[in-house]
Amino acid sequence: MPSTLNQVNPPLNHPKLIELEHALAQSVLTQITDPFLDNHQISLWIKRDDLLHPIISGNKWRKLKYNLDHALSLGADTLISMGGAYSNHLHALAYIGKTLNLKTIGIIRGERTEPLTPTLLELESWGMELRYISRSEYRHYRDYNHWQDLPGLKPNEYWLPEGGANTLALKGIAELVNEIDIEYDNLCVACGTGATLAGLINAVPKQQSVLGFAALKNASFLTSDVQSLLSGEFHHWEIFHDYHFGGFAKLKPELALFMSEFEQKTSIPLETVYTGKMLYGIYDLIAKGHFGQGERIIALHTGGLQGKRGYA
């Protein structure tokens, strides 16, 4: 781990969490070589949070880390959160729960339908208790933001909002920004809840722009959700809403084609829900002249490759 980390945040407290962090791989910067980029005089790097851990998907570790430390410092032994049938967040949480010997409960959107998705099967096999609730009920759970907010929470239980999107998540995201040791102009990320985007906005030096790519259709909630996680005024950020390709899990042929070409060129695997759409968006913006000549872009690979199963 780079030494800058400890200058920003206090170290983790819980020994098992520290052990887990030490087992993570480095998130390196991979520069993309592509004649298309040369022609537009753009430099592009991918920040490889997908490499951190094969199961604890990139930004989910970053977002969970300080939440888990907080939960453990309170003496909690049960972690409760919510997500869909392909949730990378619950997947990471269930695995961490198993590793740290904590009980986990996942509140799942929609009815239990057979066959279970590969994600749900793994959640069960790692001992996560799954509670299925209706989509309308699920929406109400989105109002519970603070760790104590879940009605009926017991003293040993700790609540995490959807996607782990809260202010403690921002602390973990800041660490990836501090790991970046090259000059750049733009930092790009795919958005679900927007918490990762908020974390980047909060942490980048003032002269850089942060660009978010919405994975969801009708994600107009994103701007205010991101703002509510930030304290203070931040100017250089923007969310693009034109690259959702019809919604969360839709795979359009032009996206599939772009992704397979990108994967062939770079050997960097993408998934269709988040990172594929973000990179498609970046390439499209480059083609349309959105960036100035010579600009340097870093795109965050947020991982999520487990969720690929079932859409492919």
Ligand X SMILES: *Cc1c(COP(=O)(O)O)cnc(C)c1O
In the complex, which residues of this chain contact ligand X (CB under 6 A)? 57, 59-60, 88-89, 163, 165, 190-197, 274-275, 302-304
Q: The tokens of 124 are what?
A: 């069960």
CB count in 10 Å sphere of residue 6: 11
Helix (H) or strand (E) holding 174: helix 167-179
Q: How far is the CB of 305 from ligand X (least distance, A)?
A: 8
- Interaxial angle between packed helices 275-287 and 253-266, expressed in degrees from 0 to 180 and rounded to the nearest 10: 90
CA nearest neighbour of 301 among 66, 44, 65: 44
Q: How far is the CB of 170 from ligand X (least distance, A)?
A: 10
Give the burial class of 207: count Cβ atoms within 10 A of its Cβ; 0-12 exposed, 13-18 middle, 19 or more buried.
Answer: exposed
Q: How far is the CB of 60 from ligand X (least distance, A)?
A: 6
CB 270 within 8 A of CB 263: yes
Q: How far is the CB of 272 from ligand X (least distance, A)?
A: 10
Give the CA radius of gyration of the chain. 19
By beta-carbon proximity to ligand X, the closer residue of 76 and 226 is 226
Query: Which residue lies nearest ligand X, judged by its C-beta?
Result: 304
By beta-carbon proximity to ligand X, the closer residue of 88 and 208 is 88
By beta-carbon proximity to ligand X, the closer residue of 16 and 29 is 29
**In sequence order, what E strands does the chain have?**
29-31, 43-48, 78-83, 103-109, 129-133, 157-159, 186-191, 209-214, 237-240, 296-301
Q: How far is the CB of 58 from ligand X (least distance, A)?
A: 6
CB count in 10 Å sphere of residue 49: 27
Q: How far is the CB of 213 from ligand X (least distance, A)?
A: 9
Cβ-proximal residues to 26 (8 Å cutoff; 6+ apart), any chain: 51
Euclidean distance between the first and the last CA atom of the chain, given in angstroms as a whole number: 34
By beta-carbon proximity to ligand X, the closer residue of 57 and 202 is 57
40-to-36, 92, 254, 255, 259 alpha-carbon distances in Å: 6, 38, 21, 21, 20
* Structure-token match 């603070």, residue found: 146
Phi, psi of 109 (to 5 degrees): -75, 125
By beta-carbon proximity to ligand X, the closer residue of 62 and 78 is 62
Q: How far is the CB of 216 from ligand X (least distance, A)?
A: 10
By beta-carbon proximity to ligand X, the closer residue of 97 and 304 is 304
Q: How far is the CB of 303 from ligand X (least distance, A)?
A: 5
Q: The tokens of 247 are what?
A: 């919604």
CA nearest neighbour of 169 among 213, 206, 202, 212: 202
By beta-carbon proximity to ligand X, the closer residue of 17 and 90 is 90
By beta-carbon proximity to ligand X, the closer residue of 42 and 191 is 191
